[in-house]
């Protein structure tokens, strides 16, 4: 393939070539970074919560007056919920994974200040593990004798002697999940540190805030505490196929029990996730739209400049054809020319992609761009250039040799 | 001549219709993407209380225990009950108000409205003057009501309508939790500072939710209303502390936000000295074991330190402007193609005596016309994207709104970008050699 004449021709039409190369470079730089961010967002949205997502739902009532017998209320509610056909497990809970509202505490291995791991705290007088459908990877669930009762009107401390931690907490503090069983860790640090013994480890359990940064998103523990607060908050696990009906029945049953409270939450787990990640999804969609727009605009730019060159060079093409060049040669000429330009653009674009990423890292604490995105972006932009130039190149090949004989 | 060029530019839009359409669409898409994100970013970083934001301050006092557990250099972001009382009663500061979100059960006298949880906020009477809250009926409660925990309430316009219909609500009563409160004023629905800087720490996100009722903070405390927001306790209560609400009031837990208005921004250092002095006094009583680490933030500083503008929004804005840049480069190429096709025409004009300057003007005007059309299309697309964004979430519903300034910026950006994009092709058009063009015709 004779590159020499192409380079000579390019020297005469530098502007168009530079424009295309610049556009390719900018597109590559932006697309790599945008897709990297999209991937991170979607990974956050898709990560498992640990909860049996197609079985569990949340139902919560707030008191509209003073409720004296909170334990009685809880027991009556649980009984009513268990009586609904299709219900597998019920637990009164303090908060719900991924629901954006919950409790947080610091956990340390030795009770010494300074090393607290921020941890989301769940508790229930029933089996939180069973009601949420969590998976125990080591140890056991709580037994009934371990359950403590805490009434927020009379008790100032909320604590228990035993705890089930998430695998993330276990691995942060100990060698592995098995190793954590039986060990004592502390809630808080310093004078107020409260010891608690690990009896079990669940593999995955997202905190209620479910932050996008993974480091502490799965850092959670469960206490066997029957918390007697003013709100009535339950996790119900039902047969997947019957859940929608069970939810309706649950509302009817609990609303009929007492008139002095108001339903504030009734959501299945998918809905809870959907609401929590609305922002991540919106952000990802916006970036996907920008990426598609960019690729289209760049493709149209390549088509535009290539078409311009074809119309400018009609006469030369005719001459080449008249001198014996085949259509294939003409197509090959334009395709090669385009590949040369896009390659230069890609080379510049790689540098710009890394530069843009470094800028975003410093400004927005984004992660470093993995090389895979550069390679992927490179191939995508290259293919885009190739496809975009085919149309104009085809039209160039259609120029009849006879045009060489006409004046202009 | 300008109007003639303008007419020519408009007429030439129809030449090369596909090319023109491509330029207009490219420009419009680029403008819409960047302007939609810029609108949101601008709304997020807006000054919620212009003209006064440098005179309103929120103090943070470091009352954490001295056991090494406090790694964060920043002190707690709310105050204890005791400190809120002390700062309110102290002399310095023009106006002062505690802020605590509450959610009392509202039981109106109307039979057709069921009891519900109100979105409320408890403040001092100073709050309304301090925050320039506009009243449409009545006014704030008196300072005497602050002092005695008066059973009074100020309603938001929409809430007053919901509770009392068209009747004048002033002087009427409604039941809050366990007592009857008299309405003293109605706040206009237009009062909607974004972000809601006065209750940034706790409760709903800074761009969402609005308070429907205001009651005296002292009344909320006296009736033991639960604070709707974070209660942060850095140290456990002493063993002899009473349980429940009384214990919370005496504890070192922080749960109350506090705002103070100073006569001028230059009074801030003096107020900061007063805070340090107050903390030093308290230290003698056995509180505040850590060395002085108190902060005084003005509105802007408070928004910054709470990172109100999300990183995602910034990222999207950067990338959207990158997109606009690509669109511009693309427009340069397309304009170049459009103008090059008319080399012959330019040659004739030049041969007939038109100076380069005239050609330059004509083609720049033509770029401007294309830019204007692209800008108008972009404006339409921007409105469409904002409309789409508003459907996405409650926060976007208030943030993604176009105002006159953004409208102007959008059009200016569109025309400027097309002029910028037109510069190179126009300059190239001027370089056309008349002789060469005439010969090859």
Contact B80, B256 (CB under 8 A): yes
CA-closest candidate to residue A91, choices A208, A302, A237, A249: A237
Q: Which of A259, A293, A317 is the last residue of a domain?
A: A259
Distance CA A115, CA B71 (A): 9
The nearest CA of chain B is from the CA of A192 a distance in Å of 7
Inter-chain CB proximity A289 and B33 less than 8 Å: yes
Q: Give residue B154's Cα distance to chain centre.
A: 25
Residues A285 and A249 reside in one and the same domain: no
Mean pLDDT, chain B, integer: 87
For chain B, positions 1-30, list CB contacts with chain A under 8 A. 19, 22, 26, 29-30
The predicted structure's pLDDT at residue A7? 84
Q: What is the mean pLDDT of residues B400-425?
A: 85
pLDDT tens digit string along A132-156? Answer: 999 999 999 999 999 999 987 777 7
The predicted structure's pLDDT at residue A301? 86
Of B68, B311, B336, the CB nearest to A16: B336
Classify residue A269: in a domain, yes or no: no
pLDDT tens digit string along A173-191? Answer: 998 889 999 999 998 777 7
Q: What is the mean pLDDT of residues A191-213?
A: 88
Residues B259 and B181 reside in one and the same domain: yes
Residues A176 and A40 reside in one and the same domain: no
Inter-chain CB proximity B330 and A301 less than 8 Å: yes
Q: How confident is the model at residue B334 (pLDDT cuts 50, 70, 90)?
A: confident
CA-closest candidate to residue B120, choices B26, B215, B192: B215
Inter-chain CB proximity B441 and A312 less than 8 Å: no
pLDDT tens digit string along A283-310? Answer: 888 889 889 989 999 998 888 888 888 8
Tokens of B267: 């009074």
Classify residue B51: in a domain, yes or no: no
**Count: domains in chain A:** 2
Q: How confident is the model at residue B110 (pLDDT cuts 50, 70, 90)?
A: low
The nearest CA of chain B is from the CA of A190 a distance in Å of 6
Distance CA A205, CA B112 (A): 44
Residues A318 and A373 reside in one and the same domain: yes
Distance CA B28, CA B31 (A): 5
Of A19, A153, A289, the CB nearest to B332: A19
Contact B53, B195 (CB under 8 A): no
CA-closest candidate to residue A120, choices A183, A165, A175, A186: A165
Q: What is the mean pLDDT of residues A348-375?
A: 89
In the predicted model, is pLDDT for residue A192 greater than 80? no
Q: How confident is the model at residue B111 (pLDDT cuts 50, 70, 90)?
A: low
The nearest CA of chain B is from the CA of A271 a distance in Å of 15
Residues A39 and A80 reside in one and the same domain: no
Q: How confident is the model at residue B144 (pLDDT cuts 50, 70, 90)?
A: very high
In the predicted model, is pLDDT for residue B336 greater than 60? yes
pLDDT tens digit string along B264-282? Answer: 999 999 999 999 999 999 9
- The residue among B218 and B69 whose pLDDT is bigger is B218
**Which residues of B are less than 8 Å from A365 in CB distance?**
311
Q: Domain range holding A115? A: 66-259
pLDDT tens digit string along A22-57? Answer: 999 999 999 999 999 899 888 888 899 999 999 999
Q: Of A182-196, A210-224, B209-223, B330-344, which has the strongest mean pLDDT?
A: B209-223
Of A16, A190, A311, the CB nearest to B68: A190
Residues B345 and B298 reside in one and the same domain: no
| Percent of chain B whose pLDDT exceeds 90 | 33
The predicted structure's pLDDT at residue B69? 63
Q: Which of B274, B305, B336 is the last residue of a domain?
A: B305
The predicted structure's pLDDT at residue B203? 67
**Which residues of B are less than 8 Å from A312 in CB distance?**
340
For chain B, positions 78-117, list CB contacts with chain A under 8 A. 105, 115-117
Report, in this order, helix, strand and coil percent for chain B, each rounded to 5. Answer: 50, 15, 35
Q: Which residues pair with A154 in a beta bridge?
A: none
Q: How confident is the model at residue B202 (pLDDT cuts 50, 70, 90)?
A: low
Residues A241 and A319 reside in one and the same domain: no
How far are the Cα atoms of B119, B138, B395 from residue B159, in angstroms, in the given order?
10, 15, 21
In the predicted model, is pLDDT for residue B441 greater than 60? no
Q: Domain range holding B407? A: 2-45+310-440
Inter-chain CB proximity B115 and A64 less than 8 Å: yes
Residues B265 and B373 reside in one and the same domain: no
**Which residues of B are less than 8 Å from A287 in CB distance?**
316, 319
Q: Which of B278, B305, B332 is the last residue of a domain?
A: B305
Classify residue B50: in a domain, yes or no: no
Classify residue A238: in a domain, yes or no: yes
The predicted structure's pLDDT at residue A136? 94
**Which residues of A are less than 8 Å from B389 in CB distance?**
282
Q: What is the mean pLDDT of residues A342-361?
A: 93
Residues A226 and A101 reside in one and the same domain: yes
Inter-chain CB proximity B322 and A29 less than 8 Å: yes
The predicted structure's pLDDT at residue A25? 94
In the predicted model, is pLDDT for residue B259 greater than 80? yes
| Chain B nearest-CA residue for A296 | B26
The nearest CA of chain B is from the CA of A86 a distance in Å of 32
pLDDT tens digit string along A75-118? Answer: 999 999 999 999 999 999 999 999 888 888 888 888 877 778 88
**Which residues of B are less than 8 Å from A154 in CB distance?**
243-244
The predicted structure's pLDDT at residue A81? 95
**Which residues of B are less than 8 Å from A20 in CB distance?**
333
Answer positive or negative: Cα dihedral of B428, B433, B434, B438.
negative
């Amino acid at each position: 393939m004779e590159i020499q004449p192409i380079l000579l021709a390019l020297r005469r039409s530098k502007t168009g070539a530079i424009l295309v190369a610049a556009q390719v470079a900018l597109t590559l730089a932006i697309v790599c970074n945008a897709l990297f961010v999209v991937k991170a967002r979607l990974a956050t949205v898709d990560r498992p919560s640990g909860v049996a997502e197609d079985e569990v739902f949340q139902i919560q009532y707030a008191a509209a007056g003073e409720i004296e017998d909170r334990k009685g209320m809880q027991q009556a509610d649980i009984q009513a919920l268990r009586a609904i056909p299709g219900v597998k497990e019920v637990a009164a809970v303090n908060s719900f994974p991924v629901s954006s509202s919950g409790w947080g505490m610091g956990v340390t291995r030795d009770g010494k200040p300074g090393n607290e791991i921020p941890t989301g705290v769940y508790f229930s007088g029933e089996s939180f593990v069973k009601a949420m459908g969590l998976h125990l990877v080591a140890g056991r669930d709580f037994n009934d004798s371990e359950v403590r009762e805490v009434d927020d009107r009379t008790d100032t401390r909320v604590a228990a002697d035993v705890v089930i931690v998430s695998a993330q907490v276990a691995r942060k503090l100990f060698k592995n999940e098995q190793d954590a069983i039986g060990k004592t860790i502390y809630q808080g640090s310093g004078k107020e540190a409260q010891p608690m013994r690990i009896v079990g480890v669940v593999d995955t359990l997202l905190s209620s805030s479910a932050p996008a940064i993974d480091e502490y998103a799965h850092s959670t523990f469960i206490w066997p505490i029957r918390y007697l607060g003013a709100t009535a908050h339950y996790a119900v696990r039902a047969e997947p196929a019957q859940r929608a009906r069970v939810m309706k029945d649950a509302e009817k049953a609990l609303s009929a029990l007492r008139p002095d409270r108001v339903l504030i939450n009734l959501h299945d787990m998918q809905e809870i996730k959907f609401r929590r990640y609305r922002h991540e999804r919106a952000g990802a969609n916006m970036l996907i739209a920008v990426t598609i727009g960019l690729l289209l605009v760049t493709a149209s730019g390549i088509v535009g400049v290539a078409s311009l060159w074809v119309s400018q060079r009609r006469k030369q093409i005719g001459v080449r054809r008249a001198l014996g060049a085949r259509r294939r040669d003409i197509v090959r000429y334009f395709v090669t020319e385009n590949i040369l330009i896009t390659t230069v653009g890609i080379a510049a674009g790689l540098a710009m992609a890394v530069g843009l990423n470094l800028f975003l890292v410093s400004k927005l604490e984004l992660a470093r761009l993995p090389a895979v995105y550069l390679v992927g972006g490179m191939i995508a932009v290259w293919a885009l250039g190739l496809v975009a130039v085919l149309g104009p190149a085809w039209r160039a090949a259609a120029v009849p040799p006879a045009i060489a004989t006409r004046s202009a | 001549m300008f109007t003639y060029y303008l007419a020519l530019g408009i007429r030439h839009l129809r030449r090369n219709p596909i090319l023109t359409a491509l330029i207009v669409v490219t420009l419009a898409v680029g403008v819409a993407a960047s302007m939609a994100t810029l609108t949101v970013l601008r709304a997020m970083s807006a000054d919620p209380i212009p003209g006064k934001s440098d005179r309103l301050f929120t103090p943070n006092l470091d009352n954490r225990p001295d056991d090494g557990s406090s790694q964060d250099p920043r002190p707690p972001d709310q105050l204890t009950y005791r400190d809120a009382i002390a700062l309110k009663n102290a002399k310095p500061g023009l106006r002062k108000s505690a802020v605590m979100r509450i959610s009392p059960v509202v039981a109106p006298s109307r039979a057709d409205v069921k009891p519900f949880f109100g979105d409320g906020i408890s403040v001092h009477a100073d709050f309304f003057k301090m925050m320039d809250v506009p009243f449409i009926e009545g006014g704030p409660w008196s300072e005497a009501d602050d002092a005695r925990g008066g059973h009074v309430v100020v309603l938001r316009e929409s809430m007053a309508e919901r509770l009392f219909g068209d009747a004048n609500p002033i002087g009427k009563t409604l039941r809050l939790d366990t007592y009857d409160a008299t309405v003293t004023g109605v706040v206009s629905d237009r009062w909607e500072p974004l972000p809601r800087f006065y209750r940034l720490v706790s409760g709903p996100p800074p761009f969402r939710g609005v308070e429907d009722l205001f009651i005296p903070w002292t009344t909320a405390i006296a009736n033991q209303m639960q604070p709707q927001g974070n209660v942060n306790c850095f140290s456990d209560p002493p063993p002899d502390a009473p349980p429940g609400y009384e214990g919370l009031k005496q504890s070192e837990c922080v749960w109350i936000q506090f705002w103070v208005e100073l006569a001028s921004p230059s009074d801030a250092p003096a107020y900061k000295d007063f805070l340090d002095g107050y903390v030093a006094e308290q230290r003698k009583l056995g509180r505040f074991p850590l060395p002085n680490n108190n902060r005084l933030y003005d509105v802007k500083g408070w928004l910054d330190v709470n990172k109100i503008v999300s990183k995602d929004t910034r990222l999207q804005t950067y990338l959207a402007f990158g997109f606009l840049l690509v669109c511009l480069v693309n427009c340069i190429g397309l304009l170049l193609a459009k103008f090059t096709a008319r080399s012959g025409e330019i040659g004739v004009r030049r041969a007939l005596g038109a100076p380069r300057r005239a050609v330059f003007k004509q083609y720049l005007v033509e770029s401007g016309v294309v830019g204007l059309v692209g800008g108008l299309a972009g404006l339409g697309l921007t409105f469409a994207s904002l409309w789409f964004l508003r459907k996405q979430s409650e926060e976007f519903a208030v943030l993604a709104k176009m105002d006159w300034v953004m409208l102007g910026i959008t059009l200016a950006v569109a025309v400027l970008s097309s002029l910028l994009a037109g510069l190179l092709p126009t300059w190239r058009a001027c370089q056309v050699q008349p002789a060469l063009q005439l010969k090859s015709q």
